[in-house]
């Protein structure tokens, strides 16, 4: 079993530029001009052009200003501060600066399309540090 990550965006070209610059992903395949596969994470990422205002899941309309969702991506990196700088240069928005936590170091950001994500570097004990909390 495996999984893939689909990200709706209003502009696949701009999203491809962001995700390749921010995370070092590379273009795998292009399926026309509105659908791109990115490689470099444990799961492939598919950027899909979906215009703002169109219906997404249920009756929720897509919007690309910052929005909340109960599901977001944590990108595990070796150096959170360097990863934050790279993401910001690519166009990310910093929502919570990097801070130390019992399990490591974490920063919260959003991509230019309103999708939140965290950059996370685990300590030696990682989430096990929370077992006694």
**Which segment of 3-7, 66-70, 102-106 scores lowest on mean pLDDT?**
66-70
In a domain, 60, yes or no: no
Residue 94 has pLDDT above 90, yes or no: yes
In a domain, 79, yes or no: yes
Helical pair 80-90 and 12-23, crossing angle rounded to 10 deg: 150
- Tell me the chain's radius of gyration from C-alpha atoms: 16
Q: Which structural domain, as residue segments, surrounds residue 88?
A: 66-133
pLDDT, tens digit, for every residue of 18-51?
Answer: 999 999 999 999 999 999 999 999 999 999 999 9
- 73 and 46 fall within a common domain: no
CATH number (domain holding residue 101): 3.10.180.10
Q: Domain count of the chain?
A: 2
pLDDT, tens digit, for every residue of 76-89?
Answer: 999 999 999 999 99
Q: State the average pLDDT for the chain.
A: 94
| Token pair in block for residue 67 | 């929005």
- 74 and 131 fall within a common domain: yes
Burial (Cβ within 10 Å: 0-12, 13-18, ≥19) of residue 81: middle
Residue 133 has pLDDT above 80, yes or no: no
Question: What pLDDT band is residue 92 in, cutting at 50, 70 and 90?
Answer: very high
Percent of the chain with pLDDT over 90: 85
In a domain, 110, yes or no: yes
- 48 and 94 fall within a common domain: no
Coil, helix or strand for 74? strand
Q: What is the pTM of this model?
A: 0.90
Return d(Cα 96, Cα 105) in angstroms, integer.
Answer: 12
């Amino acid at each position: 079993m495996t999984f893939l990550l689909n990200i709706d965006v209003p502009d696949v070209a701009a999203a491809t530029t962001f995700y390749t610059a921010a995370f070092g992903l590379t273009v795998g395949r292009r399926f026309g001009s509105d659908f791109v596969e990115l490689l470099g994470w444990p799961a492939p990422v598919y950027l899909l052009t979906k215009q703002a205002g169109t219906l997404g899941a249920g009756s929720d309309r897509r919007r690309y200003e910052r929005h909340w969702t109960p599901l977001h991506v944590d990108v595990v990196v070796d150096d959170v501060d360097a990863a934050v700088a790279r993401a910001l240069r690519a166009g990310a928005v910093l929502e919570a600066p990097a801070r130390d936590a019992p399990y490591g170091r974490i920063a919260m950001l959003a991509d230019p399309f309103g999708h939140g994500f965290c950059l996370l570097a685990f300590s030696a004990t990682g989430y096990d540090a929370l077992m006694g909390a």
